[in-house]
Structure 1
Amino acid sequence: MTPKRIILGILTLLTIILVGSSLIDSITQPQIQSRLELYQTNLILHATEWQSDPEFKQDFNTLKTNLIGENAPKSALKQYENLQEAAQDNLERIQTLEPDSTSINQLEKLQDELEIRIGILQVEQGKTEKALNTWQTFIESNQSSKTQQQIKIAQVLRGIWSDPAKILPEAESTLENNLEGWFSYQALSRLYELQERQEDLQALQAKEQQIAEQALIKLIIISAIPGIGLLTGVILLVVLGIQLLLKGKESILAKNTDVTWLTPWDAETMIQVFVVGFFLVGQLVVPLTLGLIFNFLNLSPASFDVRSKAFYVWANYGFLMAGGFSVLFFSLKPFFPLPEGWFNVDWKKNWFFWGLGGYVSALPLVILVSLINQQLWNGQGGSNPLLPIALENRDPVALIIFFVTASIAAPVFEEIMFRGFLLPSLTRYMSMGSAILLSSLFFAVAHMNISEIIPLMTLGIVLGFVYTRSRNLLSSMLLHCLWNSGTLLSLYILGSGSA
């Protein structure tokens, strides 16, 4: 065995340990999906307050009902209670498995936030006595994560809904500074009614009408538009499936299935590119390099504001791309010129329709798999760390940086590495279908969150399918770009609905 292979074997073992450790650590990390559901619920609660123009009341009320349901607050209460129960189950499990995990504090804070809001939802459902008990239990509990400010919020809420009411000092500022969105509106409305401040109440209601109208528009964007794409995807899959049954090898789905790549390199080169150029660069070299730079500059990424974090993410991904492409280039240089068909980018062929068709086809498949996957992981298993930052971000410069990183840089880099290089390389040792499956698994694992492996693998299969049929990286890049852009757009809209 040559020294190169010995070193590569050691690096491969190190990579397996690093990746395995990251996946295991992600088991106890919360998923962003639970947070997304809360943000969407808060948009729906805002929308319930909207009053349409009397002239179009019937038509708009039908639209409103279709978007938010018959009794949105009741559904919201059930969702909040279910999430609270799931958070408690996860907390107990993590306390048993990892007593020192940072996720414990996150889950405790989430429970505190939920309990305060559940009380307001209970009031909205006419369960005032139950709400008073909820807040009183919160005030008296010994949860270490609770802050004095949260206790004060519960005291203020309990006071204004008690009979007789008791308005505590600084009640208005406490509610304004510590409650958001629809929950703030409900609490302040109650306070102004008790204080007989009609002008302030009318101003608050007028502002809420504006927010409610915006909430309806946002719900249409994140619900109706993807719904159209979802329906289109289902129809397209059915049509393509029927065509495959009728035409067989002459169908669109069977295109290029018999055309293989000539692969002049062996598995050692494949391992070298991904172990050194992707995993080690991304998991070891880039973090250590940036860490040394920031230590030298006496900077801590944890203390960065949103814009600085966006630049940090961009720099991190830029170093990853530079390292990955460098290793790929020098690994394949001995085989130049490459055989025909490798890393094909053709602007003249039907790449746009393959990419768009692949996107709408991926929607129903990934959504179905994700729904099943959520039940398996029950809110745990980790998420892409970029998503929570993007969800709560309002800085336009940071949003542009996030978009460039996630919707342009990531699709280009990942499609060249996984579909352009790995997938065709694997066909030297296995069938095209098996190569699509295995490359999709590596694609999913590379995102380092164990709960996202199945949905991302499903997306990877569609990406691989589109690339092998179109033989054009532009098609899979477009699909990937559309997918990431849609995710970021939904995050921005949901996050903007919390105000």
Structure 2
Amino acid sequence: MQKKNMPRWKVFLAILSLLLTILIWQRGLQESFDRPSVTPKLALNQREIALLAYPSLPNSISPLLVGEDPELGLKNTLRELDQGQTGNRERLLLATLAISEDEKRSLLADTFQEKDLNTVRETLLDSLDQKDNFQILIDRIQDQQSDPLLYRMSCLAIGGEPDICVDERVSRNMAFRLLFSQLLPLLAILMGLLLFLRQGWLYLRNANSPWPEINFLPLSTVDMVLLIAGGFVVLGELVSPLIAMPFSDLITREIASPVKESLKVLIGYAAMTVPPLIILRQQISHLRIKVLSMEWLQWGGRSFAKSAVDALKGWLMVMPFVLLVSWLTTLFFGDPGGSNPLLDMVLSSKNYSALSILLITTVVMAPLFEELIFRGVLLPALVKKQGRVLSVLVSALIFALAHLSVGEMPPLFVLGIGLALLRLSSGRLLPCVLMHSLWNGVTFANLLILSA
């Protein structure tokens, strides 16, 4: 009956929105190949942290965390970088690492200790064909705090003793970063695998609790296409930025970078959420349901502690598979690039105000909005029409495609599956919001830890 009464203009808009969405997503995915990837920068930062942390690490775990030769690891990583990814600093680091042992021994340690920079400069320029670069390097030596790694490597390169060249405070700080960025994820992976195996054992024994009934909004297929394709993609991802950019430029005109760029991201994301929320409100207005109705969306806010525990378990169980898919993607296809520009903003920013704004966007706004659309509205409607298995896969695929990144699509697809299964197994939306927020928050924290 509902299909017969569907207005033709509505069907036409749905078809048009779907066609435009295909074009937008195709172009967005193609353009993602041209966007730089943060993976090389993360790898380089991790190698630098490993080298700085090496003196403070216990011998028993040092090979596990930094390898047998952290200098060689950094040298190889620097050599693998593309020309466009290397600056003067990277070339200077590579030059100091490339100095042979014979050349190092030929440089006098007491020269640096006495800080006779003229003598050091002459010695370096006589022994190395890096005159312009090492002129800058020697100037950088005068300020130890400007770049701890460049200071250390240049100090050792000209024959400085380790107790002079190594800043113990910096080394201890980097050792803590390294432990947090490597051991905690490893622990989380082990816990996640154990939880997954336990869940599988309970399933084989038929000891799992039955999944609860899922409420769904009585929206037609045409309504869902208009919401996702028309509201989220066409109006949200294409039209809203055209309106939001002049507005954000006006608001942030007197604000300095990088806070300015962070505010633009926040305003742009907020603007993107408006069209689909308006469409959703209009679609359910005749049902007398509020857009954020706790009853229909099954938020489950009254049992926050249980939702938090479910979110943590879901995050732990999905993380090994997301990391595995990411690793396999890189292994077979290389780094396709196309990282979310926001990742590089977090990785490069040192401004606490800018980082706080980005944190609100990624850890609060994005999980709330995306879970409302994908697991609050889309998934239950698909389950009603297609069953659980196909609905989980379809909703996860749409979730991954919506981020417009070829490189991030496989892991996001797996993450979407995990979020969908959590929604169905818990019967509540809040655990999905918390799990999504936890995932983004951990990613955010890891970028800060590995930031240069």
TM-score, structure 1 as length reference: 0.76
Q: Which residue of 2 aligns with 1:227?
A: 186
Amino acid at match of 2:257: D
Are the equivalent residues in 2 in contact too, given 1:175–1:188 (CA < 8 A)? yes
- Which secondary structure state, in structure 1, belongs to the residue aligned with residue 181 of structure 2? helix
Q: Secondary structure at the match of 1:442?
A: helix
In structure 2, the residue matched to 1:172 is 138
- Answering whether residue 78 of structure 2 is matched by residue 119 of structure 1, we say no
Change (3 A) 1:243 1:49: same
Alignment match of 2:37 (pick from 31, 36, 39): 31
Distance 1:163 1:278 in 2: 58
Does residue 110 (structure 1) correspond to residue 83 (structure 2)? The answer is: no
Distance 1:161 1:440, change over 3 A: farther
Where do 5+ consecutive residues of structure 1 fail to align? 53-59, 88-106, 130-155
Q: Is the Cα–Cα contact under 8 Å of residues 272 and 331 in structure 1 kept in the other structure? A: no
Per-residue CA deviations over 1:416-452 (Å, capped at 9, x if unaligned) read 0100011111123211111111101111111110111
| Most deviating of 345-354 and 361-370 | 345-354
Task: Establish whether residue 11 from structure 1 lines up as the match of residue 17 from structure 2.
Answer: yes
Residue type of the alignment partner of 2:273: M
CA positional deviation for 1:299: 5.4
Deviation at 1:157, TM superposition (A): 12
The root-mean-square deviation of aligned C-alpha atoms, in Å, is: 3.3
Structure 2 counterpart of 1:412: 368
Query: Which of 213, 225, 236 is the matching residue for 1:271?
Result: 225
CA deviations on 1:171-229 (whole Å, 9 max, x unpaired) are 52256799944234211444585xxxx9xx96653xx2211110001111111112211
Indicate whether 1:336 and 2:288 are aligned. Answer: yes
- Match of residue 238, structure 1, among 188, 194, 197: 197
Q: Hey, what does 1:185 align to over in structure 2?
A: 152
Aligned counterparts of 2:259 and 2:249: Cα–Cα separation in 1? 20
Question: Percent of counterpart pairs with the same letter?
Answer: 23
1:257-316 CA deviation, whole Å, 9 max, x = no partner?
A: xx4545522111101111222112332222111233367789599xx6111111111111
For the residue of structure 2 that corresponds to 1:427, the secondary structure is: helix
SS in 1 for 2:99: helix
The CA deviation at 1:342 is 3.0
SS at match of 2:296: coil
Aligned counterparts, 1:96-175, within 5 A: 108-110=84-86, 115-123=91-99, 126=101, 159=124, 162=127, 171-173=137-139
Report deviation, 1:403: 1.1
1:146 maps to none
Structure 2 CA distance for partners of 1:493 and 1:165, relative to 1, 3 Å: closer
Aligned to 1:92: none
Q: Partner of 1:450: helix, strand, or coil?
A: coil
**Contact map agreement 2:13 2:226 (CA 8 A) in 1:** no
C-alpha contact 1:407 1:481 (8 A) present in aligned 2: yes
Deviation at 1:115, TM superposition (A): 5.0
Q: Mark the CA change 1:165 to 1:311 in structure 2 (over 3 Å): closer, same or farther.
A: closer
User: What secondary structure is seen at the aligned counterpart in 2 of 1:61?
Assistant: coil
1:128 shift after superposition? 6.2
Q: How far apart, in 1, do the equivalents of 2:130 and 2:447 lie?
A: 39
**Matching residue of 1:347:** 301
| Cα distance between partner residues in 2 of 1:245 and 1:180 | 56
How many residue pairs align between the two structures? Answer: 424
Cα deviation, residue 165, structure 1? 10
Q: Structure 2 vs 1, CA of residues 268 and 72 (structure 1 numbering), >3 Å: closer, same or farther?
A: same
Q: Deviations over 1:444-477 (max 9, x none)?
A: 1111101111100000100000011101111011
User: Which residue identity does 1:372 align to in structure 2?
Assistant: L
Question: Which amino acid is 1:110 matched to?
Answer: T
Kept in 2: contact 1:263–1:428 (CA 8 A) = no
Q: What is the distance in 2 between the residues matched to 1:157 and 1:186?
A: 18
Q: How far has the Cα of 1:116 moved from its partner? A: 4.5
Give the residue type in structure 2 aligned to 1:277.
G
SS of 1:448's equivalent in the other structure is: coil
Question: Does the 8 Å CA contact 2:298/2:427 hold for their aligned counterparts?
Answer: yes
Aligned to 1:142: none
AA paired with 2:204?
A: L
The 3 A distance-change label for structure 1 pair 157 and 227 is: farther
Report the equivalent of 2:266: 314
Amino acid at match of 2:95: G
Distance 1:314 1:260, change over 3 A: closer
The letter for the 1-side match of 2:389 is G
With normalisation by structure 2, the TM-score equals 0.84
Name the residue aligned to 2:315: 359
